[in-house]
């Protein structure tokens, strides 16, 4: 007569086998996703800092692509606190791994907030665009604005560095990621730096026209 413990053991093994099979199927599906990649290389704003999973503008972008008939997968390689130097250092490996069709570069804000040299920020962004183009990717550069309390000269120089890189490398530019709501504190979390969940569609709206021009439908 089969004991209850034996029956329980068989059932546990069966459940574990089923779980392993499910995980293998998920991994296999991910490995077989041959759609061209849109690689997002950004900082905390694109990493979804302070937001629940699935609320960030990059998540909204992935859903918009699927709904609109665009056959792309989105790879979000954004890291909170990242700088242009950090992005430049890790970009070669990302390009080799994902072989993206499109690279969206959203970096530079932390450089300015930390008092970095803007000439270095410009050089890093230029190098990232150049490397992405050399890898065969189309590039979208996303600019940031500094708060007005940084002084008009600094704010202007910071904005112009994005324009300079975009013109030099002939890539489209989103002049200001926070365009249309940057002065509205209700759109930001308590730190006054990171947009709220309600502001994420606005970020996507600012990026989408320039990004869509680089994409092909199914």
Contact 129, 137 (CB under 8 A): no
Mark whether 205 is an active-site residue. no
Quick one: which H or E segment has residue 4?
helix 4-31
- Phi and psi, residue 139, nearest 5°: -125, 140
**What is the spatial distance between Cα 195 and Cα 50, in angstroms, rounded to a whole number?**
9
Mark whether 44 is an active-site residue. yes
**What is the spatial distance between Cα 62 and Cα 64, in angstroms, rounded to a whole number?**
5
Mark whether 98 is an active-site residue. no
Q: How many residues are present in the chain? A: 218
Would you give the end-to-end CA distance of the chain in angstroms? 60
Q: Which of 28, 164, 191, 205 is catalytic?
A: 191
Q: Which of 43, 44, 82, 111 is catalytic?
A: 44
| Paired tokens of 49 | 């800092």
DSSP assignment of 140-201: EEE-----GGG-HHHHHHHHHHHHHHHHHHT--EES-TTTTTTT-GGGB-TTSSSBPGGGHH
Contact 151, 118 (CB under 8 A): no
Q: Which of 43, 78, 145, 194 is catalytic?
A: 194
CB neighbour class for 170 (10 Å; exposed up to 12, middle 13-18, buried from 19)? exposed
Provide the annotated active-site residues: 44, 191, 194
């Amino acid at each position: 007569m089969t004991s209850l413990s034996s029956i329980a053991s068989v059932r546990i093994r069966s459940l574990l086998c089923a779980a392993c099979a499910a995980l293998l199927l998920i991994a296999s599906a991910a490995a077989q996703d041959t759609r061209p990649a849109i690689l997002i290389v950004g900082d905390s704003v694109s990493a979804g800092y302070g937001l629940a999973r699935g609320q960030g503008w990059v998540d909204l972008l992935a859903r918009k692509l699927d709904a609109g008939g665009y056959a792309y997968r989105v790879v979000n390689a954004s890291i909170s606190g990242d700088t242009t130097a950090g992005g430049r250092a890790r970009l070669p490996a990302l390009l080799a791994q994902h072989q993206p069709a499109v690279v969206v570069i959203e970096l530079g804000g932390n450089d300015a907030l930390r008092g970095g040299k803007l000439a270095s920020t410009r050089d890093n962004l230029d190098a990232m665009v150049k490397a992405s183009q050399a890898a065969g990717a189309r590039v979208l550069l996303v600019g940031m604005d500094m708060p007005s309390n940084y002084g008009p000269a600094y704010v202007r120089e910071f904005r112009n560095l994005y324009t300079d890189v975009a013109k030099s490398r002939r890539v489209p530019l989103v002049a200001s990621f926070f365009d249309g709501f940057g002065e509205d504190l209700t759109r930001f979390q308590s730190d006054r730096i990171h947009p709220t969940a309600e502001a994420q569609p606005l970020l996507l709206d600012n990026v989408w026209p320039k990004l869509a021009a680089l994409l092909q439908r199914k």
